[in-house]
Amino acid sequence: MMSILLGFIFLIPAVFKSFYLLMIWLCFLMILFYLKFVEGFYSYVSYGLGLDFYSWGFILLTFWVIFLMYFSSYYISFSDKSKEFSFVVSFLLIFLFLCFSVSSFFMYYIFFEASLIPTVFLIFGWGYQPERLAAGFYLIFYTLFASLPLLLGIFYMWHKLGLTFFFMINMNFNIYLLFCFIGAFLVKMPMFMFHFWLPKAHVEAPVSGSMILAGVLLKLGGYGLIRVLFFLSNYLYFYNYYFISLCLLGGLICGLICSVQLDLKVLIAYSSVCHMSLCIMGIFCLSTLGVLGSYVLMLAHGLCSSGLFCLVNVIYERSYSRSIFMNKGFIIFCPSLCLFWFLLSSFNMSAPLSLNLYGEVILFISLLGWSVNCTIYLMVGCFLACLYSMYLFSFVNHGEVSSFNLFMKKCLFREYSLIFYHLFPLVIFSLSMT
């Protein structure tokens, strides 16, 4: 762990050199982390810091998505704010790494909230429209107001037990404490009815902001729910029916919204709500299989949704529009990119050879084991996922070309590489699921 922390210290000078040095150093940190902690499922590496199976996967996902963020922000390296951008993203990486590494609830809360600061700076500083200010305030107020009860619950736990470590908590909970501990995580994922900040943040964020938001930041909520499950499972047993029912209904409603959506970014944002609803249902099944399925689907969704936002950004940089009606017939201009659109759209609806498929199969087994009454709702949800994924692929790549796009420039090798780096881990990890 000390070698990783020293690597972060040397990451800061790289910020002021160049993007390429920073990307090389991120690759080095990721390889070092993989070699250091690939052996065990849980190890106390220092006081207050620890790693297990779940945090290890999320940290690897964080390294990978941050690396792809720099890769996608190639044009920022030529701007006047390149050093500021690198500085913000580097601190975001440090906060996320520590958030997934700490074993204390209080420290987790600190880094959970600290990760909000660089994210808001990304939206405010590199967003596209003046409405980014409203989107940033939505993100701040939703997160802070939902997190305040969590802080009160942590203080109450400290008052009663004198500690806040994940695996040493043993106390009696009531319904008020229960909602204090899970409310902040449900807003962060987000669960249906608490999701209104997500489409606004995605629409106004730059491509790097959308990538880290969909790829990693939403998973902070799922990771927190997995942690509280260790000591709240006996109490959640009496209330999980309500949460699962709301997520089933919300997933279907968001699927219908995706099917009639005209804004490409909003469509992908609402599809994230659908997938996160499925992850919440798996966690609230209170079974090992459900938690495992949610974990696999969150990792797969982090790569798949980030790749879709990159594809939308490739289109936006050429047409300067996110409207489906303004972006048709892209198979004429970028036929090779059509393959990537098809693969990511297929993976988004959990087609074979994707990690998403394994996650959803495990989740469906867990949910049907919890209640067979979920069958019809899950079938309709699968149909809607296929519907809006094929709707996204068909409208963008086929149809009559808009007159505004007749002189569109070709796609670059850098953009093909960026999408490939999203697809490669999805396929490799799915083939290694033995």
pLDDT tens per residue across span 126-147: 887 878 888 888 888 888 888 8
At residue 18, does pLDDT exceed 90?
no
Name the burial class of residue 171, with classes exposed (0-12), middle (13-18) and buried (19+) by CB atoms within 10 angstroms of its CB: exposed
Establish if 222 belongs to a structural domain.
yes
Q: Is the peptide bond before 190 cis (omega within 30 degrees of 0)?
A: yes
Is 56 part of a structural domain of the chain? no
Note the maximum CA span of the chain.
68
* Residue 51: inside a domain: no
Identity of the highest mean pLDDT range in 64-73, 237-246, 296-305: 296-305
Sequence-ordered strand ranges (E) for 137-249: none
44 falls within a domain: no
Contact 272, 301 (CB under 8 A): yes
Paired tokens of 24? 């090389």
Q: Which pLDDT band, with edges at 50, 70 and 90, does 9 fall under? A: very low
The pLDDT confidence band at residue 44, using thresholds 50, 70 and 90, is very low
For residue 226, the enclosing domain spans 128-431
Look up residue 44 and give its amino acid: Y
**Distant-in-sequence, close-in-space partners of 70: CB < 8 Å, separation ≥ 6:** 19, 22, 23, 26, 86, 89, 208
Question: Which of 28-37, 225-234, 249-258, 410-419 is predicted most confidently?
Answer: 249-258
* Separation CA 423–CA 218 (nearest Å): 20
Look at the block and give the residue holding tokens 């036929």: 335
Query: Average pLDDT for residues 270-299, to the nearest whole number?
Result: 92
Report which of 109, 84, 88 is spatially closest to residue 98, judged by C-alpha positions.
109
Which residues, at least 6 apart from 235, have a Cβ–Cβ distance to it below 8 Å? 173, 178
Exposure string (b/e) for 338-372, b if CB count within 10 Å is 16 or more?
bebbbbbbbbbbbeeebbbbbbbebbbbbbeebee
pLDDT surpasses 50 at 150: yes
Structural domain includes residue 82: no
327-338: average pLDDT? 82
65 falls within a domain? no
Residue-wise pLDDT tens digits, 219-276 = 999 999 998 887 787 778 888 888 999 999 999 999 999 999 888 999 999 999 999 9
In a domain, 34, yes or no: no
Per-residue model confidence (pLDDT) at position 345: 92
Number of domains comprising the chain? 1
Question: What global pTM score does this model have?
Answer: 0.89
Q: In whole angstroms, give the CA distance from residue 58 to residue 78.
A: 31
| Dist CA 69 CA 92 (whole Å) | 12
Residue 102 included in any domain: no
Higher-pLDDT residue of 384 and 160 is 384
Distance CA 257, CA 250 (A): 10
